């Protein structure tokens, strides 16, 4: 039985990765410190013989006993509402956390895949974004703490690959959605659905002409799984290239939820990217991967999930374990 460590395991994407590798017959060691993760995301796995959980902050030294075959590093705040409130922790998990995990991978001779992001492209001047585009990032802007943490994460990972010969993989994740997203995490899909469920008007920043491309979580997990087991070592985009404006998406949400809310407009946040669309030519060619789930189906599944949440979840302003980390 192969053994895999998944950091950020109680988060949205991390928990789905735990499910996939459990299904594939791996022994999964899950790690999280619950800054933004939620125990409920993995409670269905507790008690399984091939699942164990460790509460730990990866910015501190990591020691595991025994053999380890793979590491998936998915620990990080991933939405603006989070990383703007805990900027130092965001930088630390991208830098110190990645360094610690690369050291563990080297000691265990394990293959390590890091979760990078489309945010490494910043507010792109190239469209759609290909992996050889170096990006347009404001290093000292408020979003720079996340963008630069991920860019450094890529750099140190490639340094370990080149200098130590470590087996590494880098996935650049584009907007992903699905069940287990936090309603209060500030990203556009839970924000719109939360507003619709509360009977509030939908808030669009800017004039709504900025674009995003949304990938359903099952498709994203499939791409990550294939990349981990591939021989490809350079960064690779995993996302859905079907682009839509935020205004059009708000209109889709109103139609999906059957609500009568209006769209209201607010000022666009600083450095918010105006275009986001992955070029997935490499993923198609190297991994034989492309998204299969239509946005219509994926959004129905996601909306139905949010409707099952307790009513009080619609009004929570922050994650219950978030406040204690604000000053760290």
Strands 243-245 and 211-213: antiparallel
Q: CA 129 to CA 131: how far, in whole Å?
A: 7
pLDDT tens sequence across 127-154: 999 999 999 999 999 899 999 999 999 9
Mean pLDDT of the chain: 93
Q: Has 70 been annotated as catalytic?
A: no
Active-site position among 121, 146, 160, 177: 146
Q: Looking at residue 185, what is its pLDDT?
A: 81
Strands 168-173 and 211-213: unpaired
**Domains, the chain, ordered by start:** 3-325 (3.40.50.720)
- Bridge partners for 73 per DSSP: 7, 114
Q: CB–CB of 171/238 below 8 Å?
A: yes
Q: CA 82 to CA 146: how far, in whole Å?
A: 10
Q: Looking at residue 75, what is its pLDDT?
A: 98
Q: Looking at residue 271, what is its pLDDT?
A: 65
Please say if the pLDDT value at position 327 is more than 70.
no
pLDDT tens sequence across 16-75: 999 999 999 999 999 999 999 999 999 999 999 999 999 999 999 999 999 999 999 999
Q: Looking at residue 181, what is its pLDDT?
A: 94
For the question of whether the overall pTM of this predicted structure is more than 0.85, the answer is: yes
Q: Looking at residue 323, what is its pLDDT?
A: 53
pLDDT: which is higher, 318 or 176: 176
């Amino acid at each position: 039985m192969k053994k895999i460590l998944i950091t950020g395991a109680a988060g949205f994407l991390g928990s789905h990765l735990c499910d996939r590798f459990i299904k594939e017959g791996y022994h999964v060691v899950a790690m999280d410190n619950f800054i933004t993760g939620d125990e409920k995301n993995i409670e269905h796995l507790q008690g399984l013989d091939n699942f164990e959980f460790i509460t730990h902050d990866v910015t501190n030294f990591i020691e595991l006993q025994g053999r380890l075959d793979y590491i998936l590093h998915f620990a990080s705040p991933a939405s603006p509402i989070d990383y703007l409130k805990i900027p130092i922790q965001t930088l630390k998990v991208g830098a110190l956390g990645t360094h610690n995990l690369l050291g563990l991978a080297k000691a265990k001779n394990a293959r390590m895949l890091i979760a990078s992001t489309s945010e490494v492209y910043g507010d792109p001047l190239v469209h759609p974004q290909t992996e050889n585009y170096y990006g347009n990032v404001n290093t000292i802007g408020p979003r720079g703490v996340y963008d630069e943490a991920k860019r450094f994460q890529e750099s140190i990972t490639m340094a370990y690959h080149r200098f130590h010969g470590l087996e590494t993989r880098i996935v650049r994740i584009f907007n992903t959605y699905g069940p287990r997203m936090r309603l209060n995490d500030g990203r556009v899909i839970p924000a719109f659905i939360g507003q619709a469920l509360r009977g509030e008007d939908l808030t669009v920043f800017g004039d709504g002409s900025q674009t995003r491309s949304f990938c359903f979580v099952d498709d994203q997990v499939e791409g990550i799984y294939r990349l981990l087991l591939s021989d490809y070592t350079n960064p690779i985009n995993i996302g859905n290239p079907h682009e839509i404006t935020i205004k059009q998406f708000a209109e889709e949400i109103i139609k999906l939820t059957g609500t009568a809310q209006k769209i209201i407009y607010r000022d666009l946040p600083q450095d918010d990217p105006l275009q986001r669309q992955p070029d997935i030519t490499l993923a198609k060619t190297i991994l034989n991967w492309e998204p299969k789930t239509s946005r219509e189906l994926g959004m129905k599944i996601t909306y139905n999930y949010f409707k099952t949440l307790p009513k009080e979840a619609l009004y929570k302003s922050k994650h219950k374990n978030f406040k204690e980390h604000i000053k760290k």
